[in-house]
Amino acid sequence: MVAHAAGVEDWSRETRHFLVLHDLNGERVVAILEILSPTNKGFYAHADFEAFRDRRLRLLSSPISYMEIDAVPAGTRWLPRTLLALDKHAGVVWASVPCPSGERRFEGWAWAAGGPLPRVPWDLGAYGSVAVDLEGTFSEAAATAGLAVTG
């Protein structure tokens, strides 16, 4: 035998699929981009969805910009009221930025099954904005992983 490992630990099925953007000094979180998984959406257990919902509510109560990408058909899709018209699409990406009034501004985009993924602007508040190219990112990630992309 070359190696062996064993142990007992708490384990969660939840995986973290998000990107955290900090200011140039690395001292402050400016924005979070989250890619939803079936676990986030409660496909395996309602408790997973509740945990995700609580985390999202904390993020939306904070002074950071938030973007969410939901290309998962399984589980519960939970959109802000102003974006409910996007619910029936195959995929949805939406962003929210805090307003000076204390409210939040929401903007969303959707795509059809088999259609190209959108390139969307992401408002980072006082830090400007960036373009998020979902199609390009997916294609590059698939090529890097050696996966075939059909289109």
Q: What is the mean pLDDT of residues 30-35?
A: 89
- Comparing 36-40, 118-122, 144-148, the range with the smallest average pLDDT is 144-148
Q: What's the CA gap between 70 and 42, in Å, rounded? A: 13
Task: Please name every residue paired with 111 in a beta bridge, in sequence order, or none if there are none.
Answer: 91
pLDDT at 23: 85
Secondary structure letter of residue 94 according to DSSP: E
Given pLDDT bands bounded at 50, 70 and 90, which one contains residue 16? Answer: low
pLDDT score recorded for residue 1: 46
Average pLDDT over the chain, rounded to whole?
82
Name the one residue in this structure whose structure tokens are 């993020």. Answer: 59
Please return the burial class of 40, using the count of CB atoms within 10 Å of its CB with bins 0-12, 13-18 and 19+. Answer: buried
Q: How confident is residue 137, by pLDDT bands cut at 50, 70 and 90?
A: confident
Q: Which residues contact 96 (CB under 8 A, 6 or more apart)?
A: 60, 65, 66, 67, 80, 104, 105, 106, 107
pTM score above 0.85: no
CB neighbours (10 Å) of residue 61? Answer: 10
Q: Are 41 and 72 in contact, with CB atoms under 8 Å apart? A: yes
Structure confidence by residue, pLDDT tens digits, 51-67? 888 989 999 999 999 99
pLDDT for residue 150: 55
- Closest to 72 (Cα-Cα) out of 102, 54, 48, 107: 48
Q: Would you state the pLDDT for residue 97?
A: 92
Q: Where are the chain's structural domains?
A: 18-144
First to last CA, the chain: 47
